Structures are given as C-alpha cells and as structure tokens.
Amino acid sequence: MANTFKFGNGQWATKEGSTLAYNDENGNFKPLPFTFDRASSATLVNKDGLIETVGADQPRVDYLNDSNGALLLEPSRSNLYLNSEPTTNEGASAEVTYESFSWSLGFSNCIKYGDNSVVRFRYGANVSASTEYTLSAFVIMDDLSEPVIGGETSENDFTFVIGGSVFNNANPNVNMGNNIYRVSVNGTTSASPNAPNNGILKFTSQSNKGFKVVGLQLEQGSYATSYIPTSGSAVTRVYDTIPSYLDITPLNIGNYYTLFLDANLNVNDNNKVFSTINNSSDVVSFTIRNNVGGIRLYNHIDANYPVSGITSATNKFVIRVDGNSYKVFVQGSSLSGTLTTQRDLGSLNFYGQNTELKINNFTIDNTALSDAECEALVN
C-alpha cells in the first residue's frame, strides 16, 4: 500500500498538538509530530458555531462555513479598538445604547442602534494618514434580514466610517449563522484623517431598521482576519506558522508522487502560499502564490518563471511528479513539463505568516496517480 501523507477533509489528528498525519504501509492513520508556532492566543469558530480562543502555539481548525473544518493560518494583525465588546463609549457617539444580548456566537452584550428617527453613531480607535484599514463587526438586524451597507439612501441600513470618511464599498457579508453577519469594509485614509472617528453610522435617510453590533475590529490591511478580542487596550494576534521547510523525509516520498492542495486563498494578497523543497539542496521545486489577476504556479527547478496557463482562481491544485516529468492539474485544464534533474521531495513550506490561508485538504501520495485520478481530485 502506498504511503499517504495527509491532513484535512475532516481528518484532523490533534494528539500532542499535531494537525498533520499519514497512512503507513499497513493503512494505519498516524500523527506526524511537528511544532506549530504562534506567539499569541487567537480565535476560531468551533464545531458548535461559537467563537473560541485557543492559546499560543495551538493550531486552529476553523469550522466557519465548513463542516469538516479547515486549518487556519493568518498573518499578524492588531485590533485597534480598545474594547471590542464595549459596554460604554470609547470615542464620540450619539443615540446608541449598551445592552445585554445573548449571541449564538458566545457574546453577551451589544451596542444597540435604533431606527432612523435620529442620526446614530459610535466611534473608537485611531488611524494614521494615507493607510489602508479594514473595519469589521458582527451585526444582527432587528428584523433578522441580511444587513445592507451603503450610502445615505433608504435601501441601505447603515454606513462605515474610517478616519472620518464614509466608505460605502462594503465587502460581501459573512454569514455566521442564526441571522448574524460579519460585515466589513476596507479603505485608505486621507492625508489628514479625523483619526478617532472610526465606526458605524446610521443616517436618518437610511432604512428604519434597528440592529445590534458587537465584536468591533479595526486592523491595518486590505481584508478582515479572525476576530481579535480586546478589553481596555489594542491587541495583536501574531502570525501562524507551520515551521519553514517542514521535514517529511521520514515518509520517503521520493521523486514519484502526487500532491493535492485544496485551500481557500485570499486573492487580496500578492504573496506565496505554498512550496515544495527537494531534500538534496535548497532549491524550490514548485510554488503556488497569489498574483494580481489570479493564482499562479511557479516552477523553480528549470527556470524562475510562471508556468503558463495556471491563472485560474480555483482553490484545488494537483502536482504530479513522475521521475523527470511533471504535470499540473486545475479544474478544467492541465499542463506538462520536464525536469532537468530528478529530486526527492524532502520538505514543505506553508506561508501563513504572509497570507491568509485555510487548508481544507492536503495529501501527498508517494505514487504518480493517473490522469483520470488527478482530474477527479480537482473537478
């Protein structure tokens, strides 16, 4: 039986903190010990839909919109709000109240915004000039509808303000379940921002719907990362990382193998996502990375250039190495190439410190699967 190194797809080995495992030649599913690093606590959405905090150096299997769970790796971010679950004002505010409320996510209070009879807002945190930020929060509408973020018109429910400027280009809402949505917007502050004016504003010209807010987060960057709780001061969540060049030489993968990666990649990052390393020198074999306009696979063995044709936004990749040849599969297409030197696969590198990465499934078989088997994995 072929050795298969894998994690994900609902099979998460958690013994001694490990989330990697492999099937040995007798078909036994075994943990592959490794050190997972993150020098701070962090949150995840657990199987029960609750936001849960785990300690430093603990891997996060996140179940948000994924019944099998996915290994979550994120870059370092800071929540600049001093109180993410506030019970009082942090900055300027008008016509909002603070109330007890039981959220299915685990929160126990909220900021209550009423109808459109008056202008309502609450601000907090501080921003710098000419800097991109993302503002996010958890919202439940009084009528349980999906919130609509936008300008001062009746079809919109409220507006985001960053640095005193209104931003109407909201990102898609994230459905947290039970009529709760995580809403967000990102934008770049002006050269002279009103630094403490960051929050949610409701105009009288907007809908008459009231709503509740909790989990405020203001972070520097182009997208919202996992929730970072604060209580009295800004908090930084340090990046997650599986050690660079994770050694898999004990698995004896060799130079005949099939690698399958299914991961949610953040297309707002222009960063490396994953790479394979041979065990004879520090030459990168294949690198998957986000690029402006799509996701590309690079072959660094023979030349430092993008392998043409792999620009699909698909999140499923198969790389098959068959001695001195390789073939890459994505949904609906494939391409082949020849390697000038055969090299055994020795280590892996996941770049969670550079980009948001949710790994749904990852396997390496120490056999070269057929075209039909590879195509079945990506389609």
User: Tens of pLDDT along 303-323?
Assistant: 444 555 455 455 788 888 888
Name the more confident of 348 and 195: 195
SS3 of residue 38 by DSSP: coil
Place of tokens 């520097």: 220
Pairing of strands 357-365, 211-220: unpaired
Instruction: Kindly tell me if the per-residue pLDDT of 194 is higher than 60.
Output: yes
Q: What is the DSSP string of 189-256?
A: --SS--TT--EEEE-TTS-S--EEEEEEEEEESSS--S----BSS-EEEPPPBPPSSEE-GGG--TTE
CATH 2.60.120.260 fits 78-237, yes or no: yes
Distance CA 40, CA 237 (A): 6
Instruction: Kindly tell me if the per-residue pLDDT of 251 is higher than 90.
Output: no
pTM of the model: 0.87
Q: What length does the chain have? A: 379
For residue 40, the model assigns a pLDDT of 95
Q: What is the DSSP string of 78-134?
A: EE--SBSS-SS-SS-EESEEEEE---TTS--EEEEE--TTS-EEEE-----TT-EEE
Instruction: Kindly tell me if the per-residue pLDDT of 374 is higher than 90.
Output: yes
Q: Domain 4-38+46-74+240-378 falls in which CATH fold? A: Jelly Rolls (2.60.120)
For the segment 325-331, the average pLDDT, to the nearest whole number, is: 83
Q: 130, 331, 120, 131: which is closest to 222 by C-alpha?
A: 131
Q: Of 59-68, 100-109, 333-342, which range is least confident?
A: 333-342
For the segment 155-176, the average pLDDT, to the nearest whole number, is: 96
For residue 355, the model assigns a pLDDT of 75
For residue 128, the model assigns a pLDDT of 98
For residue 236, the model assigns a pLDDT of 98
Name the more confident of 160 and 27: 160
Kind plus residue range of the DSSP H or E element containing 373:
helix 371-378
Instruction: Kindly tell me if the per-residue pLDDT of 270 is higher than 80.
Output: no
For the segment 144-154, the average pLDDT, to the nearest whole number, is: 96
Instruction: Kindly tell me if the per-residue pLDDT of 144 is higher than 90.
Output: yes
Structure-block tokens of residue 111: 């900021």
Kind plus residue range of the DSSP H or E element containing 375:
helix 371-378
For residue 257, the model assigns a pLDDT of 87
Cβ 363 vs Cβ 6: under 8 Å: yes
Name the more confident of 114 and 246: 114
Distance CA 325, CA 155 (A): 57
Instruction: Kindly tell me if the per-residue pLDDT of 283 is higher than 50.
Output: no
pLDDT category of residue 267 using cuts at 50, 70 and 90: low
Domain limits, CATH 2.60.120.260, in the chain: 78-237
- For residue 327, how many other CB atoms are within 10 A of its CB? 18
Provide the mean pLDDT of the chain: 84
Domain limits, CATH 2.60.120.200, in the chain: 4-38+46-74+240-378
Q: What do you get for the CA distance between the two ends of the chain, in Å?
A: 25
pLDDT category of residue 65 using cuts at 50, 70 and 90: confident
Residues with Cβ within 8 Å of 236's Cβ and at least 6 positions away in sequence, in order, are: 40, 76, 77, 78, 228
Distance CA 331, CA 294 (A): 14
User: Tens of pLDDT along 200-231?
Assistant: 999 999 999 999 999 999 999 999 999 999 99
Structure-block tokens of residue 210: 């009231």
pLDDT category of residue 284 using cuts at 50, 70 and 90: very low
Distance CA 123, CA 100 (A): 20
Cβ 360 vs Cβ 77: under 8 Å: no
Name the more confident of 307 and 235: 235
Q: Any bridge partners for residue 113, and if so which? A: 96, 211
